Structure 1
Amino acid sequence: MNGYPWAAFAVNLGWAAVTALAVMAVTFAVAVAKGVHRIVDIAWGASFAAVAAVTCVLSAGHGDDGRRLLVTLATALWGLRLAAHIARRGRGHGEDPRYDRLLSRAPGSRNAYAFRTVYLAQGALVWAVSLPVQAAQYDPGPLGAGAVVGALLWLAGLAFEAVGDHQLARFKADPGTRGRVMDRGLWSWTRHPNYFGDFLVWWGLYAMACETWQSAAVSALSPLLMSYLLIFGSGKRLLERQMADRPGYAEYAARTSGFFPAPPRADGSRGPRR
């Protein structure tokens, strides 16, 4: 087996940054034209798909073809499903309250402030989080146990996320549940099945990059960073802060696991489950 192609991978890092920035720049132009910056959330998943595709092209002749195809398809399926889901969910709505609050603090132009604090920041995160997607595709060794474990984690995560999103969409569309807190299906086992699904997806993609110590070491930041964002950053923590005052949410939080799935607790009197 040949050594890890560090020079080619270094070039890929630069092209991945350009790709993520290009997707964000195009999205910014569309957002300015439409007057709604919430569409940057659509670009999040699409950016990972774009980085995976560019890396697949550039890694030809350097990495194992089976792994390149596996990682590219896994990333693209996850990213494009997420982008399509967010696009459908936001259709017909105005600006997201999160971006309204953020941009209300703009010292000058709201658009310029949005580009600096939202689009560039998300582009940088895409580059950092996509490190296993890039590194795995330059691994010259054949598929092994890491790819199998990674594929199983990815599949479980995608299913958990997609089923959770579908259940929530049906719940919101039912006039009989209007104003209630979703506590059915996967949402009775965890308050954030979609975020937990993301968690599994990215640890799965990292496992695919763990066939060699080189790709494992260079991409270890990714699942740790994504886990932090999902649990302590813009995911669970921020959403629960927004939901805290909704009728019935405190009771729901008391009986339902905060992140990792667990059977609902019958007696929620001891406070929220973490």
Structure 2
Amino acid sequence: MGVRTVSRAGSMGVVGGAYLLALGVAYAVVVLAPPSWHPLLTAFVADLVATLLIFGLSMVLDNASLYDPYWSVAPPVIAAWWVVAADTGDGVRQAVVLLLITVWAVRLTANWAYGWAGLHHVDWRYRQLRATRGRVPWWLVNLGGIQLMPTLVVFLGLLSVWPALAGSRPFGLLDVVATALTAGAIALEAVADLQMHRFAAAADNRGRILATGVWRRTRHPNYLGEIALWWGLWIFGVAAAPTWWWTVIGPLGMVVLFKAASIPLMDRRSLDRRSGYADHMREVPALLPRLR
């Protein structure tokens, strides 16, 4: 029996097994890493090795979507290890940051699981990439564009989490701002996904445009929430250790990723599938919400 005929429950088991293996190889890197390595370097190498394992398994299973949960699964694992590895750090900030990252990760992973039908399901974007890759080998597209690139972008976003967890400044007003922004971002993503699931579940809405709720003010509220989350984590890092301000490259990288890749791709798909979407694009901003 091929993997394409495995049940949804069996497919989830395969994914779970794959990620346990990835966790195992990442742990091996942590154990074997030279003591001279900074926790940032150790985590980066472990992250890359785990990504390569998931890539290899995705090629064996012929399903690049095996990587999809990695975006939300890796950050809480890395953050939890950094709490252990940090010699210093404010306990209140550590607890708040780790809790927020965990809540975000559980919710986003659950949202992925809700929409994933099983090993026969491959994200439409990956199918499109595979069909339009020209002479570029599929394994290279899969490795570089689908798996390594997101891993690197997310790790850039996580750079500010290290000072947030290891910085010695006590929890203060700037942390309160970061908490509000990060929690609000998670809530926005949750509301946006819930409204989209309800809209998509109604057969009458096929081919229509969701323009109510948070989707009335911005075309991509889920992306806005995701970007805001990484800015919130950066503020935590600056609050704990201001000299780490340069980790702003993380949230800036997220902005570039969504503005240059994710949003144009989703808008082009909606233009092909939904009548009137061009007018919708003129009326509703892509990210920053309209106030009226």
Shift of 1:175: 1.4
Shift of 1:243: 1.6
Paired residue secondary structure (1:219): helix
Shift of 1:10: 6.5
Classify 1:167/1:249 alpha carbon distance in 2 versus 1 (closer, same or farther; 3 Å): same
**Within the alignment, does 1:72 sit opposite 2:98 as a pair?**
yes
Quick check: 144-153 or 241-250, which moved more? 241-250
Tell me what 1:45 maps to. 72
Tell me what 2:213 maps to. 185
Shift of 1:143: 0.5
Give RMSD over aligned pairs: 2.2
**Within the alignment, does 1:201 sit opposite 2:232 as a pair?**
no
The structure 1 segments of at least 4 consecutive aligned residues displaced by more than 4 Å after TM superposition are: 106-109
Paired residue secondary structure (1:209): helix
Q: What TM-score, normalized to structure 1?
A: 0.84
Tell me what 2:177 maps to. 149
Tell me what 2:242 maps to. 213
- Give the helix-richer structure, 1 or 2: 2
Q: What TM-score, normalized to structure 2?
A: 0.79
**Within the alignment, does 1:123 sit opposite 2:151 as a pair?**
yes
> Number of matched residues?
254
Name the aligned partner's letter for residue 94 of structure 2. R
**Within the alignment, does 1:235 sit opposite 2:255 as a pair?**
no
Distance between the aligned counterparts of 1:213 and 1:78, measured in 2?
A: 25
**Unmatched 5+ residue regions in structure 1?**
1-7, 265-274
Give the conservation status (yes or no) of the 8 Å contact 1:19–1:51. Answer: no
- Per-residue Cα deviation, 1:44-78 (whole angstroms, up to 9, x for no partner): 1112222212212211x321222222222212221
Distance between the aligned counterparts of 2:283 and 2:141, measured in 1?
A: 40
**Within the alignment, does 1:138 sit opposite 2:155 as a pair?**
no
- Per-residue Cα deviation, 1:14-33 (whole angstroms, up to 9, x for no partner): 12212322442343244234
Classify 1:188/1:9 alpha carbon distance in 2 versus 1 (closer, same or farther; 3 Å): farther
Shift of 1:197: 0.7
**Unmatched 5+ residue regions in structure 2?**
1-34
Name the aligned partner's letter for residue 97 of structure 1. W
